Amino acid sequence: MDKKKPLILVVNDDGVTAPGIRTLIRLMKKLGDVIVVAPDGPQSGMGHAITLDSTLHVERVHIDKGEQVEYACSGTPVDCVKLAMNKLVPKRPDLCVSGINHGSNSSINVLYSGTMSAAVEGAIEGIPSIGFSLLDYSHDADFSQCEEYVIKIAKQVLENSLPKGTCLNVNIPNVKKEEFKGIRICRQANGNWHEEFDERISPQGKTYYWLTGKFVNYDKGEDTDIWALENNYISVVPVMFDVTAHHVIQQLNSWNHG
C-alpha cells in the first residue's frame, strides 16, 4: 500500500459481485488504493438498518484480479461501513464511495437506499462520501458511459473534500455518453411511492404480499434531482444526516407545553 496514495473504501448494497461495484472498484483504482467491504448478497432497500440481533461474518474474497483488498460481509451496507472503519481498514480512508447502484436513488429513494445509507454512514464517520446510482435496474446495465463522470466527481471530492455533515447522492441518467448535458447540483424532489401490494395465496392457502408500487413526483422544480435526470443531467444532491426540521422549531415553541 502506497503511503502517498489516497485510500478509498468501496461499498454497495447490491452485493460484492454486482457489476456496478465491479465498475466502481476498477475506476477507483485509478485514483488510489482500494479496500472493498460489501454485502455478500443483495441488500437493496435496507436503508440505514444495522444488525443488532444477529452475528456478523466477514470473509476475504478475490473476485477480480488486482491489488484491491476485498471483503464480503453478511450484514447490511451500514454494517459494512462500520466493520470496515473499526476492524478492516489499515488507515483512515480519504474517501468512501458506494455503488454504483443498479437503479435510481433520487428523491425519497435516498431514505430506502442501502447505497445511500452506506454513504451517509461514511459521512457520520467523518469520511468524504459519495453514493453513485445509474438509472438502470438490470444486471446487464451498461456502466461504461458514466465512467468519466464518476471519476471526475470522486476526484473533486478527494481534492476539495465536502462540507461537514454532508455526503453526495449522485444519480446518472441511462443515456448515451454524448447525450449527457453535464452535472447539476440539485435538491431532493418531493415525490413518493404509491404502493400497490401484490396479494397472493400460498399453496398452503395463506395470504401473502409483495411490496410493489409506482413512484409519483409532485415536484416540478427545475432545481430537483428528478428534473435534472429527466433532462439528461447527472444529478448531485448534497445529503445531510442532521434530519432536524430547524425551520419549524420556532413554530412548535408556540405550542402550549405546560
> Which residues in 232-251 contact a second copy (CB under 8 A)?
236-246, 248-249, 251
Q: Does 101 bind a second copy (CB under 8 A)?
A: no
Please list every residue from 4 through 33 that binds a second copy, using CB under 8 A: none
What's the closest the beta carbon of residue 44 comes to a second copy, in angstroms? 5
Nearest distance, CB of residue 65 and a second copy, angstroms: 26
CB 191 within 8 Å of CB 216: yes
Q: Nearest-CA neighbor of 25 among 64, 57, 62, 53?
A: 64
> Taking the complex as a whole, how short is the minimal distance between the CB of residue 133 and a second copy, in angstroms?
15
Burial class, 123, CB count within 10 angstroms (exposed 0-12 / middle 13-18 / buried 19+): buried
Q: What minimum distance in Å lies between the beta carbon of 2 and a second copy?
A: 27
**Would you count residue 206 as binding a second copy (CB under 8 A)?**
yes
- Cβ count near 113 (within 10 Å): 29
Quote the CA–CA distance of 146 and 166 in Å, as a whole number: 23
Beta bridge partners of 187: 224
The CA-CA-CA angle for residues 92, 41, 211, to 5°, reads 115
Q: Which is nearer to a second copy, 67 or 248 (CB)?
A: 248
Q: Is 190 in the site for a second copy (CB under 8 A)?
A: yes
Cβ distance to a second copy smaller for residue 66 or 126: 126
**From candidates 68, 104, 117, 174, binder to a second copy by CB under 8 A:** 117
Asked if residue 208 binds a second copy (CB under 8 A), the reply is: yes
User: Residue 129, Cα to own-chain centre: how many angstroms?
Assistant: 9
Nearest distance from residue 103's CB to a second copy, in Å? 11
Q: Which of 15, 17, 56, 230 binds a second copy (CB under 8 A)?
A: 56
Interface residue with a second copy among 11, 46, 97, 130 (CB under 8 A) is 46
Stretch that binds a second copy, among 1-9, 17-25, 30-38, 193-201 (CB under 8 A): 193-201
Q: What is the dihedral of CA 140, 103, 151, 62, to 10 degrees?
A: -60
CA distances from 161 to 11, 81, 126, 127, 152 (A): 19, 19, 11, 9, 13
Evaluate whether 198 touches 254 at the Cβ level (below 8 Å): no
Q: Is 113 in a helix, a strand, or coil?
A: coil
Tell me the window of 27-35, 64-72, 92-100, 106-114 that interacts with a second copy (CB under 8 A): 106-114
**Binding span for a second copy by CB under 8 A among 14-22, 29-37, 170-178, 196-204:** 196-204
For a second copy, give the closer residue by CB, 145 or 190. 190
Near a second copy by CB under 8 A: residue from 182, 201, 203, 204: 182
Give me the half-sphere count of Cα atoms (radius 13 Å) on the Cβ side of residue 71.
Answer: 22
Q: Which of 66, 177, 185, 231 lies at the binding interface for a second copy (CB under 8 A)? A: 185
